[in-house]
Structure 1
Amino acid sequence: MKPFFILMNKEYFQMIRDFKIIWLPIVFIFLGMTQPVLTYYLPAILGALGGGQGITIDPTMVQQEGGQVLATTLGSQFDQLGIMIIVISMMAMIQADKASGMLAFILTRPVTVWSYIAGKIISNYLLVIVSVTFGYFVSYLYVSYLFTDVPISHMLLALLIYLTWVLFMVSFTLMISTIFNGQGVIALIGIVFLLICRMIIGIHPTIDLINPAGMSQHAMSLLVTGSVDSSLYVNLIITFLWVLFTLLVSHFWISQKKFQQD
């Protein structure tokens, strides 16, 4: 366990040096406050700027239920800009160690590949959890003030469900960071793939069942309707299997030292 904790400390030290531990939560706090504020004040802003001519504003927009607005924060902010930010902030998880030669050096030490991978994904996932949670709670406070209250039990359960989808984002980014060498390629593949996963939700029930992004949809549904669909549990298990698959691919790639091949 000692190598694992050493690697965790190394990751957090690097996050502090890169100020990631500061700017990532701030970005998600901004995303969290954006949706409820824009939803509530957009008609007034358009009217004040004189830009409402020819535009019909739905008068029920500011009368939405709090759960609907909070769900929109997940779907419109975290699942769009949020995905891009997570991938860009995590794309160098393994790639940076490959480029600097640190990965090859670490593998010559008494460190198992699993310890290395676990240190990477746990430290980065914890940072993303803190960032997303801060943004989500800020959104919840604005929603409670500007709209109607959302039951705390629904709010917390929806967050836990959504964080499962976030776990897949991080593990998938780790996998492609292991396989590919260029940060631009890693960012492009990660962002496009995860956005596609999110966009195809609702096309077919079977696709929703095996799609990790279905966890986001379940979280939103809980906030809007106050209940969860029975398919949640199957989707949850399949999402964890996808996470395990990404970790196994990363382990195989590193243990076979395929990262040294161009």
Structure 2
Amino acid sequence: MTGFLTLLQKEWKEQTRNFKVLWIPLVFIIFGIIEPITNHYLPEIMKSVGNMPEGSEFLWPEYSGEEIFMSLLGQYQFIGILVIVLAFMGAISGERKTGTATLLYVRPISFRAYFLSKWVVINGIVLASVWLGFFAAWYYISILFNSVNAGEVIRFIAVYSLWIIFVVTVVLAFSATFSTGVAATLSLLLTIVFQLVDSLIGAYWTISPWKLPQYASEVFVGSTDTAGFWWSICVAAIAVLILIFIGVMMSKRNSAKTTV
């Protein structure tokens, strides 16, 4: 792939220059810290500000560390994905619109290298952010709740990481295919809205990339449908490869639309 390492360095410098390597991890870390702390101290907060009659007791369910992890996953499923889509919806379409891609397209570069350089760097940033968020949560969970088995946490994060890679690939493929606004709309539709659909009627099937967050959560409860789990991983991996192929092809096809 012509110029892959050069494009990789260029993409890393660009993400560093716009501070995405800083603020995206901070968002995930902050939510990772807030979730266990809030759930631990919320009963005390409610007692102090709830204006409850004297002598009454405020009953609050006692959560386990595993349940806090699943609750945090729910936060990432909405806010985290929203951050990913908004941060990278213009990764390719934005360069076409502003004309900065012209400086690349006039050079003898491979569009496969161009797309994959973005895919590698962005996935690196997002995955590192998600991992840091979960590890920060794990630290506070072990202090405020109970110690969660390390093997379960690693499997939980590994399964969820494949879902994150799928989300990033969807965003980049749509960014290569459509304008920034359309890419953002379709990315949110395919990731967040389809998740809602799957949660409502997904009991009728067990194989889907949108099942990965559910299977990640089931690591803690030990009730995973093994066949559906592995087939969902295979389908998600194949979908990622297909989306990469589409992204490369559309990056090349739409290069003529670049603003000069």
**Structure 1 length normalisation: TM-score?**
0.89
Tell me by how many angstroms 1:84 deviates: 0.4
Residue-by-residue CA offset, 1:104-125 (whole Å, 9 max, x unaligned): 4423322111111110101100
Change in Cα spacing, 1:259 to 1:242, as seen in structure 2 (3 Å) is: farther
C-alpha distance in 2, partners of 1:192/1:51? 42
Change in Cα spacing, 1:162 to 1:46, as seen in structure 2 (3 Å) is: same
C-alpha distance in 1, partners of 2:51/2:183? 40
C-alpha distance in 2, partners of 1:205/1:70? 23
Trace 1:120-199 onto structure 2 (pairs within 5 A). Answer: 120-181=118-179, 183-199=180-196
Tell me by how many angstroms 1:168 deviates: 0.8
Task: Determine whether 1:29 maps to 2:29.
Answer: yes
Letter in 2 for 1:24: I
- What residue number does 1:119 align with? 117
Letter in 1 for 2:39: T
Letter in 2 for 1:229: D
Tell me if the contact between 1:71 and 1:221 (Cα under 8 Å) persists in the aligned partners: no
Tell me if the contact between 2:35 and 2:72 (Cα under 8 Å) persists in the aligned partners: yes
SS in structure 2 at match of 1:111: coil
Change in Cα spacing, 1:229 to 1:52, as seen in structure 2 (3 Å) is: farther
Tell me if the contact between 2:3 and 2:113 (Cα under 8 Å) persists in the aligned partners: yes
Tell me if the contact between 1:92 and 1:177 (Cα under 8 Å) persists in the aligned partners: yes
Change in Cα spacing, 1:57 to 1:261, as seen in structure 2 (3 Å) is: farther
C-alpha distance in 1, partners of 2:214/2:16? 33
Change in Cα spacing, 1:207 to 1:3, as seen in structure 2 (3 Å) is: farther
Residue-by-residue CA offset, 1:174-221 (whole Å, 9 max, x unaligned): 01111222x3433333223311132233423454412x2211111111
Question: Can you give the 5+ residue segments of structure 2 that lack an aligned partner in the other structure?
Answer: none
Count of matched residue positions in the alignment of Structure 1 and Structure 2:
255
Q: Determine what percentage of the aligned residue pairs are the same residue.
A: 25
SS in structure 1 at match of 2:8: helix
Tell me if the contact between 1:174 and 1:250 (Cα under 8 Å) persists in the aligned partners: yes
Tell me if the contact between 1:87 and 1:187 (Cα under 8 Å) persists in the aligned partners: yes
C-alpha distance in 2, partners of 1:52/1:251? 60
Residue-by-residue CA offset, 1:30-66 (whole Å, 9 max, x unaligned): 111122122222221111112568xx9653x2x2221
Tell me which moved more, 232-241 or 42-51: 42-51
Tell me which moved more, 183-192 or 169-178: 183-192
**Structure 2 length normalisation: TM-score?**
0.89
SS in structure 2 at match of 1:155: helix
Trace 1:104-115 onto structure 2 (pairs within 5 A). Answer: 104-115=102-113
Letter in 1 for 2:144: L
Tell me by how many angstroms 1:24 deviates: 0.7
- What residue number does 1:3 align with? 3
Output the aligned Cα RMSD: 2.3
- What residue number does 2:218 align with? 221
Residue-by-residue CA offset, 1:152-185 (whole Å, 9 max, x unaligned): 000011101000000011000001111222x343
Question: Can you give the 5+ residue segments of structure 1 that lack an aligned partner in the other structure?
Answer: none
Task: Determine whether 1:67 maps to 2:66.
Answer: yes
